[in-house]
């Protein structure tokens, strides 16, 4: 699912925001905590960024 469709499905449609600041905080958390760290990415062979980073560090330590 494209980024914005996923964002709406997981975040926007589940809550009514009273202020723009509440929305901004939720958007930041979604992008920085979930999307960038825990979501599996096809570019990373369907690993999370943290799994990919760990694999890279382990491979680098071995060589």
| Predicted confidence (pLDDT) at residue 1 exceeds the cutoff of 70 | no
Domain that holds residue 54: 3-62
Q: What is the pLDDT of residues 7-54, one digit of tens each?
A: 888 888 888 999 999 999 999 998 888 877 777 778 888 888 888 888
| Predicted confidence (pLDDT) at residue 62 exceeds the cutoff of 80 | no
Please state the domain count of the chain.
Answer: 1
**What was the pLDDT predicted at 20?**
95
| Predicted confidence (pLDDT) at residue 2 exceeds the cutoff of 70 | yes
**What was the pLDDT predicted at 48?**
84
- C-alpha span between 49 and 37 (Å, rounded): 5
DSSP string, 1-63: --HHHHHHHHTGGG---SSHHHHHHHHHHIIIIIITTTS-BGGGTTB-HHHHHHHHHHHHHH-
- Kindly report the length of the chain: 63
């Amino acid at each position: 699912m494209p980024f914005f469709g996923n964002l709406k499905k997981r975040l926007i449609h589940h809550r009514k925001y009273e202020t723009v600041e509440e929305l901004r905080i939720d958007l930041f958390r979604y992008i920085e905590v979930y999307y960038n760290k825990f979501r599996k990415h096809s570019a990373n062979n369907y690993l999370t960024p943290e799994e990919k980073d760990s694999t890279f560090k382990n491979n680098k330590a071995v060589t």
